[in-house]
Amino acid sequence: MKSMKKYVIVILLVVFSGCARGNHDLSFDKISHDPVALRIMLAEMPKGAELHTHLSGIPYAEDYLTWAAADKACIDKTSSRIVEGPCGNNSIPVRQLFVKSNIWNTVVDTLSDRQNLQDNKIWGHDHFFDTFGKFGVATDNRGRMLAYAAKQAYRDNVQYEEIMLSIYGPHGVASLSKQVGWDGNFDSTLKKLKKAGLYSEMDQAIKIFDAAEDLKNQILSDGNGSKVLQRYINQVIRVSEPANVFCQMAWSFELVRKDPRVIGVNLVAPEDDPIAIRDYKLHMDMLDFFHNIYPDVPITLHAGELTPLLATPEALSDHIFLAITKGHAKRIGHGVDIPYEKNARDTLAIMKEQGIALECLLTSNDAILKVSGKNHPVHMYIKSGVPVAFSTDDMGIARSTLTNEYVTAVIDQGLTYADLKNAARNSLEYSFLEGHSLWADVSPYKMIKACAENSGSDKECKELLSNSSKATQQWELEQKLKDFETNYLAAH
C-alpha cells in the first residue's frame, strides 16, 4: 500500500511539474533537439529588441561588395580593403569580383569570420577586429546601412534596435583633443575643451545624421523594416590616448542630451588592447565624472570581453565590477570573464539587485574568444538572477543573426522556451527607451493591473501606452508573443 502511495505521489508530481512548466514549454521540448525544426520555429518567435549591435558590423561582406560595385569602388589587391575609385595599379573594380569567384571568396573571407579557423584560438579575435578597417568607403552611406539593419531586424522578428555608431562632426574631435592636451584634471580639461569649441560642430553632425535617417526612410518607404524603431548609442573609441578618449566622452554625453534619438554611450574597440588595459580604471573614472554631470544619460559598457589568453590575471580581476560600480553601466556587454573576477559573487549580486542586464553575445564570444558550451557563463548569470538579453554584436562579420543566437542558446546552452521568452522581455525592459515600464514586477514578469485586466482598454493603461515608448513596445511584444504561442506552439 505504501509503495502504491509513493507511486501515485510521483505521478502527481510529474503531472503538476508539467502543468507548472506550461504547454508551451512542453511543445518546445518536442523540437528543441531538432536543429532544423528549432530554427524554423525560432525564426517566427518575436524577440523584442536588439540591444548590442555595431552598425558597420551588421551588413554581410556580400552586401558591402554589392554596394561597393554599385558605387564604382575598388578592392585593394594587397589588403582586400574597399577603396574609392578610380581604381589604380594595386586595385581592381569591385564589379569584376562577380566574375572572378576565387577573388570574391578571398575578399568575403577577409571581410568576415567565414573561415572560422577553430584550430587557432587567436585568429578569430584578430581577424574579427581587423575587418572593420577593411570595409572602407562602403560604410560612408549610413542611410543605406540603417535601412539594411531595419530590414534584417524585420526578418528576425525584432521590433526595436539600439545601434552603436559614431556620430561626430565633420572634423571629429581628435585634433581638438590634441590641441587642448591632457593634464589629468577632468574639470579644467572640460572647461578648456568647451572654450576651444568642442560643441561647435554638433548641430552640423546632427544635420548630417538627419540626412542619413531621411535616406533610410526613403529606402524603406512602407516596406519591410519600416516599422522597426531605431535608437542610437554613441561610440567612444577607447584605444587612444586619454585626451582623445575624454574629449569623445564629453562630446557623446552632450550629444545624448541634445538629440533624443541618441540614447546612450558605450566604449568600444578591443578590451585587451594595451591602451584599453592600461587606462581601464582611468576610463571608469572619466565615466564617473561625466555621470555626475549627466546623471540621466544611460551608459552601457563592453566589459569582461577577455580570457586568460588575452589578458593578465590582474586585468581579468575587476573589469565588470568597475564597469558597474565606477562606470555606472546599466548594461554589460559580453561579461565572459566573470569567473576570473576577484569579487565575482559580489558583482553578480550587485547586477541582480540593481537590475543591470547582461547583453549575451554567444556567437561573438565563440568567434572572438573561443568561449562556448559549458565554458560560457550565461547559466551563472541566469542562476544569479541577473537579467539576460541575447544580441548579435556584429552579425555580418560573425555570419549570424539574432534568430541564430536564439538557436545557439537552446542547442549550445540548453535553454528553455521560458528562458528565451524571458530574454525577449528583458531586451525591452532593460532597453534605454524612454517612459515607464508595462511591468509591475519582473521576477517573474507581472503586468501592471490596469493593462493586465482590461486588454489595454483601461484609461490608465491607455495613458501609459500613449506616453511611454517603452511600454508601447512592450505591449506590442506581448501581443506578438500571444499570437505566436497560439498559432505556433499550441499547434505543435
What is the per-residue pLDDT across 135-183, written as a single tens digit (0 to 9) for each?
999 999 999 999 999 999 999 999 999 999 999 999 999 999 999 999 9
One domain, residues 109 and 211: no
DSSP collapsed to 3 states, the chain:
CHHHHHHHHHHHHHHHHHHHHCHHHHHHHHHCCCHHHHHHHHHHCCCEEEEEEEHHHCCCHHHHHHHHHHCCCEEECCCCCEECCCCCCCEEEHHHHHHCHHHHHHHHHHCCCCCCCCCCCCHHHHHHHHHHHHCHHHHCCHHHHHHHHHHHHHHCCEEEEEEEECCCCCCCCHHHHHHHCCCCCHHHHHHHHHHCCCCCCHHHHHHHHHHHHHHHHHHHCCCCCCCCEEEEEEEEECCCCHHHHHHHHHHHHHHHHHCCCEEEEEEECCCCCHHHHHCHHHHHHHHHHHHHHCCCCCEEEEECCCCCCCCCHHHHCCHHHHHHHCCCCCEEEECCCHHHCCCHHHHHHHHHHHCCEEEECHHHHHHHHCCCHHHCCHHHHHHCCCCEEECCECHHHHCCCHHHHHHHHHHCCCCCHHHHHHHHHHHHHCCCCCCCCCEEEECCEEECHHHHCCCCCCHHHHHHHHHCHHHHHHHHHHHHHHHHHHHHHCCC
Q: Are residues 118 and 154 in the same domain?
A: no
Q: Which three cell numbers stand for residue 244?
A: 582623445
How far is it, in rounded angstroms, from Cα 193 to Cα 342?
Answer: 37
CA angle (205, 207, 213) in 5-degree steps: 105
On whether residue 481 sits in a domain, the answer given is no
In a domain, 413, yes or no: yes
Task: Among 412, 433, 454, identify where a domain stops.
Answer: 433
What is the spatial distance between Cα 127 and Cα 364, in angstroms, rounded to a whole number? 12
Burial bucket for residue 281 (CB in 10 Å: 0-12, 13-18, 19+): middle
Asked if residue 440 belongs to a domain, the reply is: no
The answer to whether residues 278 and 341 belong to one domain is yes
Is 104 in the same domain as 169?
A: no
Return the CATH number at 356.
3.20.20.140
Residues 231 and 343 both lie in one domain: yes
Tell me how far apart the terminal alpha carbons of the chain are, to the nearest angstrom. 39
CA dist., res. 322 & res. 303, Å (int): 9
Domain end (from 137, 163, 189): 137
Q: Do both 184 and 295 map to the same domain?
A: yes
256 and 368 assigned to the same domain: yes
Residues 336 and 359: beta-carbon distance below 8 Å: no
The boundaries of the domain holding residue 130 are 62-137
**Cell 581628435 belongs to residue:** 174
Burial class (CB in 10 A: 0-12, 13-18, 19+), 5: exposed
Same-domain check for residues 110 and 188: no
Cα 107 to Cα 75: distance, rounded to the nearest angstrom: 9
Please count the structural domains in the chain: 2
User: Does some domain include residue 337?
Assistant: yes
One domain for residues 119 and 187: no
Cell numbers placing 389: 538579453
Same structural domain, 107 and 246: no
Has residue 27 been placed in a domain? no
Q: Do residue 244 and residue 363 come from a single domain? A: yes
What length does the chain have? 492
Q: Do the beta carbons of residue 469 and residue 8 sit within 8 Å? A: no
Q: Is residue 31 part of a domain?
A: no
Fill in the amino acid letter for 363.
T
Q: How far apart are CA 136 and CA 74, in angstroms?
A: 10
CB 425 within 8 A of CB 45: no
Give a yes or no: residue 176 inside a domain.
Answer: yes
Q: Can you read off the three cell numbers belonging to residue 438?
A: 508595462
Looking at 393, 414, 433, which one is the last position of a domain? 433
The amino acid that residue 17 corresponds to is S
Residue 483 lies in a domain: no
**Each residue's pLDDT expressed in tens, for the chain with a length of 492 residues:** 444 444 433 333 344 444 445 566 757 888 888 999 999 999 999 999 999 999 999 999 999 999 999 999 999 999 999 999 999 989 999 999 999 999 999 999 999 988 765 555 555 788 899 999 999 999 999 999 999 999 999 999 999 999 999 999 999 999 999 999 999 999 999 999 999 999 999 999 999 999 999 999 999 999 999 999 999 999 999 999 999 999 999 999 999 999 999 999 999 999 999 999 999 999 999 999 999 999 999 999 999 999 999 999 999 999 999 999 999 999 999 999 999 999 999 999 999 999 999 999 999 999 999 999 999 999 999 999 999 999 999 999 999 999 999 999 999 999 999 999 999 999 999 999 999 999 999 999 999 999 997 777 788 999 999 999 999 999 999 999 999 999 887 666
Question: Do residues 114 and 186 both lie within one domain?
Answer: no
